[in-house]
Amino acid sequence: MSYTDTQLRAAAWSNKVTAAISFFSSSYLMYDILKDRGLICCCKRRQQSDTTPKLLTTMQKILLGMCLLDLIADIWFFVGGWAMPNDGETLYSGVATLSPRGTTASCTAQGFFLMLGLAIPLYQVSLTSFYYLTVCKNWKEDRQFRRYQPLFHIPPWCWGLGCALYGAIDDQFHPNLVWCFYGGTDISTELLFGLFYAPLWLSFLISGILLLLIWKKVREQEARIAKYTFVKRISMRITGKQNNDTENNGNTNNRQVVTSTERKYSQQILFQALFYAGSMIITFIFPTGKKFHTLCNTVHIFCHLRL
């Protein structure tokens, strides 16, 4: 299927813009984390401070792993069609608009590192699991997390690196619209579904379930706090530690304040969960939409745009 020059240019440059924004955002997040731990700072500040660098927490290490993978993927997303081999044998007839300047080796390298980026949504599952274990299972940083910390990093890296190595060794990376990825053959298309989209959708499901469990746990804790507060008020009435008139007015006001605070806190947890899950969904909604359109035999170029 061929596309117009305008469509190809729009797809290519949109990816370059979003890749640049993502690159600088991830770079700043890495800098902020390392600076917070005292691992990097200006010389003047280091001379004034006698404190030693702090150990990275489990959450910070997960975020650093995500940022590192994102930086690698962003570089190749920005390169885009420039990595395609300039040999006239491409999947789309209008690919010359993308100014291909690469070789087969550069195309394979681009597909390898883009496939490695699959570890990013898997890392998001690790981050959600961290929140779940902290809130619902009461795991502590200096106990369980220190012991089981590698389990948050091994699955994302093993799956992403394994799929990337398989595609490179088996020569499955070919020009695919505005970059080199799984595609061009029936086998590559099937592998794209099994190795990329299936784990991606599974990560959506797991993250969503864990976030719902976190919100449910917060609501249960709020209910227990409200019950304890109510029992405490009753006991104070029985012992006569409060004046009856003041007690009646005060209890009514306190009940309203506690109820309002509880609802506000639970709503914050819910909105944070929705925003967290929504950010991951928005990031991958276009390739996911593209896959559904492909299954329906209707492919549109702008389903490939990456946010």
pLDDT of residue 150: 92
Which are the contacts of 65, defined by CB distance < 8 A and separation ≥ 6? Answer: 119, 123, 153, 156, 157
**Helix, strand, coil tally for the chain in percent (to 5):** 80, 5, 20
**pLDDT band at residue 152 under the 50/70/90 scheme:** very high
Please state the rounded mean pLDDT for residues 118-126. 89
Token look-up 């819910």 returns 270
Which are the contacts of 277, defined by CB distance < 8 A and separation ≥ 6? Answer: 204, 207, 208, 211
Please state the rounded mean pLDDT for residues 38-60. 67
CB of 125 within 8 A of CB of 188? no
First to last CA, the chain: 24
Share of the chain above pLDDT 70, in %: 65
pLDDT of residue 86: 74
Q: What is the pTM of this model?
A: 0.76
Query: Which element (helix H / strand E) includes 181?
Result: strand 179-182
CB of 159 within 8 A of CB of 119? yes
Q: What is the DSSP string of 117-165?
A: TTHHHHHHHHHHHHHHHHHTS---IIIIIHHHGGGGTHHHHHHHHHHHH
pLDDT of residue 51: 56
Is pLDDT larger for residue 225 or for residue 113? 113
Q: Which domain CATH number covers 188?
A: 1.20.1070
Q: How far apart are CA 24 and CA 250, in angstroms?
A: 52
Domain limits at 237? Answer: 5-304
**pLDDT band at residue 231 under the 50/70/90 scheme:** low
Which are the contacts of 168, defined by CB distance < 8 A and separation ≥ 6? Answer: 108, 111, 112
Q: What is the DSSP string of 251-272?
A: HHHHHHHHHHHHHHHHHHHHHH
Q: How far apart are CA 21 and CA 4, in angstroms?
A: 26
Characterise 299 by phi-psi region: left (phi > 0), alpha (psi -120 to 50), beta (else): beta
**pLDDT band at residue 302 under the 50/70/90 scheme:** very low
Measured CA to CA in angstroms, residue 117 lies from 49, 70, 72, 234 at distances of 38, 7, 8, 57
104: nearest Cα among 83, 77, 76 = 83
**pLDDT band at residue 215 under the 50/70/90 scheme:** confident
Buried b (16+ CB within 10 A) or exposed e, 174-186: bbbbbbbbbbbee
4: nearest Cα among 102, 81, 92, 77 = 92
**pLDDT band at residue 165 under the 50/70/90 scheme:** very high
The neighbouring-strand residues paired with 179 are 176
Indicate the pairing of strand 173-176 with strand 179-182.
antiparallel
**Tally of domains within the chain:** 1
